[in-house]
């Protein structure tokens, strides 16, 4: 009986606050966590998802440590009595459906595969949080850093590269990795091979393509598996002529946000290092 009484009281409270800026916001997904932590006033944030604390995947892990975490369970969410629940397309659909059925406001943030998606999601989330000015500031700073990279990128033919993950997964067109590679002055060989989204590239094709640089994003650095050991195949060392595969932290990619600027800057620096090591010679 107490459980149903709690549901009724929370639903009434949600309805009362529906037309005012949210004062009690809960996020149930890593990607909504990131934007919530970047945009909201600290007092607006009631809870973030447990993944927000994971430093390898959460760009905002340090800030997230100041808030209670949740596992997107209905009992937890009701206990927080939120006036806004933020999620994404990967959030548990039953939890979203039940919370909406009980009268709570639940908004889902779309996935990002390019810069325009990122800008759109920042503005969308900022509007929900009554933080439009802060959203525009985030976008302006991101764009400033990207323009700075672009202005320092020479007009020479871009060197070739691709992202290479365990089991041969790579990032083609319509991915943030492709967008970042191009912005940083690289030619994405995965896109040249017709890969759209995330797909596989076999080792033979990789050898024939002869990328001048390989990038990767380790989800769990320091762990070991058969798939991860593939990243140390002698053929990869031959392709790169002794240069290491460069790791670009996974937390820059897993969710679209202004942290894309960190990734582009790292990729641009890797390009400069390659050109410096090769004496600035033009590569085929």
The tokens 């503005």 sit on which residue?
123
Report which DSSP code applies to 18: T
For the cut 60, the answer to whether the pLDDT of residue 280 exceeds it is no
165 closest CA partner among 216, 199, 205: 216
What's residue 278's pLDDT? 76
**Does pLDDT of 75 surpass 90?**
yes
Q: Do domains 2-138 and 153-277 have the same CATH topology?
A: yes
pLDDT tens, 173-222? 999 999 999 999 999 999 999 999 999 999 899 989 999 999 999 776 66
DSSP classification of residue 110: P
SS3 content of the chain, % helix, strand, coil (to 5): 50, 15, 35
Query: What confidence tens digit (pLDDT) does each residue in 124-146 have?
Result: 999 999 999 999 999 999 999 99
Radius of gyration of the chain (CA): 22
Give the pLDDT confidence score for residue 227 in this predicted structure.
61
Six-digit token pair at 219? 């989800």
- According to the model, what pLDDT value does residue 106 have? 97
What's residue 12's pLDDT? 46
Tokens of 142: 């991101």
pLDDT for residue 111: 92
Which pLDDT belongs to residue 221?
Answer: 63
Inform me whether the pLDDT recorded for 19 exceeds 70. no
Predicted pLDDT at 186: 96
- What pTM did the predictor assign? 0.87
**What residue segments make up the domains of the chain, in order of their start?**
2-138, 153-277
Asked if 35 and 46 count as a contact pair (C-beta separation under 8 A), the reply is no
CATH fold of 153-277: Rossmann fold (3.40.50)
CATH, domain 2-138, list 3.40.50.1370, 3.40.50.1980, 3.40.50.970, 1.10.287.130: 3.40.50.1980
Instruction: Find the helix or strand (DSSP H, E) in which 237 lies.
Output: helix 234-240
Give the mean pLDDT of the chain: 89
Beta strands in 56-122 (DSSP E): 69-70, 84-88, 106-109
The pLDDT assigned to 13 comes to: 46
pLDDT in tens, 222-240: 666 666 777 778 888 888 8
Does residue 155 surpass a pLDDT of 80?
A: no
Gap between the Cα atoms of 48 and 26, Å rounded: 6
3-state SS track over 247-274: ECCHHHCCCCCCCHHHHHHHHHHHHHHH
In this prediction, residues 54-78 reach a mean pLDDT of 96
Q: How wide is the angle at C-alpha 120 spanned by C-alphas 259 and 115, nearest 5°?
A: 50
Q: Tokens for 137? A: 């500031």
Helices marked H in 153-202? 176-183, 189-192
- CA-CA distance, 224 to 234, in Å (whole number)? 17
Alpha-carbon gap, residue 89 to 15, rounded angstroms = 24
Distance CA 264, CA 248 (A): 10
Instruction: Collapse the DSSP code of 136 into the 3-class scheme (helix H, G, I; strand E, B; otherwise coil) and give the result.
Output: helix
Question: Among 17-21, 51-55, 137-141, whose mean pLDDT is lowest?
Answer: 17-21
Between residues 229 and 268, the one the model is more confident about: 268
Read off the pLDDT of each residue in 108-119 and give the average, rounded to a whole number: 96
Rounded Cα gap, residues 194 and 281, in angstroms: 28
Select the highest-mean-pLDDT range: 8-12, 22-26, 277-281. Answer: 22-26
Cα-Cα-Cα-Cα torsion 264, 268, 270, 273, nearest 10 degrees, comes to -160
pLDDT value, residue 220: 65
Q: Taking residues 242-255, report their average pLDDT.
A: 92
216: left (phi over 0), alpha (psi -120 to 50) or beta: beta
pLDDT exceeds 60 at position 14: no
Q: Is the pLDDT of residue 17 over 50?
A: no
């Amino acid at each position: 009986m107490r459980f149903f009484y709690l549901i009724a009281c929370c639903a009434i409270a949600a309805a009362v606050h529906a037309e005012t800026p949210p004062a009690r916001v809960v996020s149930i997904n890593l990607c909504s966590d990131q934007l919530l932590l970047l945009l909201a006033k600290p007092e607006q944030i009631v809870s973030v998802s447990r993944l927000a604390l994971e430093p390898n995947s959460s760009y905002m892990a340090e800030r997230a440590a100041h808030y209670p975490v949740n596992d997107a369970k209905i009992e937890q969410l009701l206990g927080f009595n939120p006036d806004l629940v933020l999620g994404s397309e990967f959030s548990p659909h039953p939890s979203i459906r039940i919370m909406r059925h009980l009268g709570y406001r639940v908004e889902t943030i779309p996935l990002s595969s390019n810069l325009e998606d990122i800008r759109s999601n920042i503005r969308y989330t900022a509007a929900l949080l009554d933080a439009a000015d802060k959203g525009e500031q985030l976008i302006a700073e991101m764009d400033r850093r990207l323009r700075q990279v672009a202005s320092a990128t020479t007009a020479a033919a871009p060197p070739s590269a691709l992202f290479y993950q365990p089991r041969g997964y790579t990032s083609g067109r319509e991915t943030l990795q492709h967008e970042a590679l191009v912005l940083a002055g690289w030619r994405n060989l995965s896109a040249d091979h017709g890969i759209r989204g995330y797909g596989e590239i076999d080792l033979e094709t990789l050898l024939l393509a002869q990328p001048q640089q390989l990038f990767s994003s380790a989800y769990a650095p320091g762990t070991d598996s058969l798939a991860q050991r593939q990243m140390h195949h002698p053929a990869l060392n031959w392709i790169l002529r002794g240069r290491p595969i460069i790791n670009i932290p996974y937390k820059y990619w897993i969710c679209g946000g202004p942290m894309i600027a960190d990734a582009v800057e790292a990729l641009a620096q890797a390009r400069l290092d390659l050109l410096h090591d090769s004496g600035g010679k033009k590569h085929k």
